[in-house]
Structure 1
């Protein structure tokens, strides 16, 4: 994946250093944003840093992944992003671990803006294509951020996460990997199938949703937030994916084009129970001091998804 064009001074500094500029510019990097979650510059800079832990950037030495100067700069950006999330979500009191599955169910009750209904019944081909392009930033590496949590869990929570991930990765069949199923959807739309092809045109909120998972996945202290985010994702996925599949069929989508969405209607109905009870419930029982972080992760997931859906609907309904 090629490095994208900068969107401001912070991303320009990060991208510049990875392109060969003097790393000293990172030491004086000032990270400030009125709304970090929607800040194009901050979110792109963070995404560029995080991608070094995934598949990397063309022409960028892999050793940058653990460069102390870059990690220090990334830490300053992360601190601004995380502080904004915690301020918006508000304080979460440590719950009784036995209540975590029920509390997760309450958190995901808010359906948010009706994006799935719009795509099902009203979106035209170009609007659905834009939806798919934006989602590709995550779906072409679907499940990868959550895999970081596997070695950080033990016992029943680890087994539950592995069970979910096994489905995500096609149960050993590369053609059934959800990443590959989404590529078939993109192919039907005539989109560029290259990994990361739409990072350069992704909105700040698209990047923020991806950065949220990376933030949680790359910090052991946030492992509870990561599985909470995953639980919220799985618990709110089945019905929207049914709507997406129906919307795509309305527009003439072939069975191959809709398979990604149809697969998630079934898979995520199962994953919902595993994530809420076997993963999050058992993790809270084993590590009750981290139970509040599970709820924090779920609330962050719902918050950013609602922001993103509202933004997409705003584009479509102009």
Structure 2
């Protein structure tokens, strides 16, 4: 089996791993559901995962930690020290509508199944840490209201930008580093031994989300987006300001207190989230600085059904 060198930005490698993981989510219409647990496929996936873990280990040093009691402080220091390139600032001030559409295409790979990877940890935790994760995830899934699920709010953003909001529509257009961002969540989520890393990963996302989402909303409205399109970002400004406290203290600090052996894994998961985001942002902004698309090709606007029928009749 040859699917590239296993690097974080290797397009073929990351796509192969993503496809393996996707069988645990929505799957594929032309793939039998039994393949989810097929021994051969799991064996192949294990080879890919080993390479992926090695690539992460090369890119991300394990943060030092005095002891389990220092997890919350260490998370605060780790996220505060993050100085990666700011896609959100560029989108708020300078991006054109095409670039904002590209950004949304990248994010659709995760946001259309938002929260699902981290939910894998719920049955693997206990006590206060478990309750904290459930509290966060309940908000992510709309508190019982389907139309308030964050994945559904993101679909409204996609429709507002004329993008195809169907699940996985742009999988073939995103680069390997975009898939690596999602693959890290699935790797941590699908392995019980990595539950600490998954908790830390979630904490890093929540602790660095509120301000960027405010900028995304600002940028989208600057480009003519309406309230329905911007609601996904507005929601995260408020929700994540609360979630960051729950994730850092109630989830991660309690998990480290109850299972001290996981303390360094928590910080490592957070560091992985930040580093992958930095690499992804570097790719996107680097391409835009060169005046070229950050995708394999520019996304086409979604044509309304009636217009599509009329256009077809004229050909």
Q: TM-score, normalised by structure 2?
A: 0.90
- The structure whose RCO (Cα within 8 Å, separation 6+) is larger is 2
Q: 1:42 aligns with which of 4, 13, 26?
A: 13
Contact 1:32 1:80 in 2 (8 A): no
Where structure 1 has 5 or more consecutive residues not aligned to the other structure, the ranges are 1-28
Show the counterpart of 2:221.
249
Q: CA deviation at 1:304?
A: 0.3
Distance 1:90 1:294 in 2: 13
The residue aligned with 2:55 is 84
Find the counterpart in structure 2 of residue 55 from structure 1: 26
Secondary structure of 2:29's aligned partner? coil
- Change in Cα spacing, 1:74 to 1:173, as seen in structure 2 (3 Å) is same
- Answer yes or no: is the 8 Å Cα contact 1:115–1:313 preserved in 2: yes
Residue in structure 2 matched with residue 23 of structure 1 by the alignment: none
Distance 2:236 2:83 in 1: 18
Q: 1:124-166 CA distances to partner (integer Å, 9 max, x unpaired)?
A: 0000000001100100000000110000000000000000000
Is 1:216 aligned with 2:199? no
Aligned to 1:311: 283
Scaled by the length of structure 1, the TM-score of the pair is: 0.89
Partner residue, 2:124:
152
How far residue 111 of structure 1 moved from its aligned partner, in angstroms, is 3.3
Task: Answer yes or no: is the 8 Å Cα contact 2:4–2:12 preserved in 1.
Answer: no
**1 CA distance for matches of 2:58 and 2:165?**
37
**1-side partners of 2:197 and 2:87: how far apart?**
25
- What is the 5 A alignment of 1:1-318? 29-30=1-2, 33=5, 36-93=7-64, 95-109=66-80, 110-318=82-290
Query: 1:92 deviation in Å?
Result: 4.1
CA RMSD for the aligned pairs?
Answer: 1.1
Aligned partners of 1:316, 1:31: CA distance in 2, in Å? 28
Aligned-residue offset at 1:316: 1.6
Aligned residue pairs: how many?
289
- In structure 2, how many angstroms separate the alpha carbons of the residues matched to 1:261 and 1:228? 22
* Residues 101 and 276 in structure 1, CA contact (< 8 A), matched pair in contact too: yes
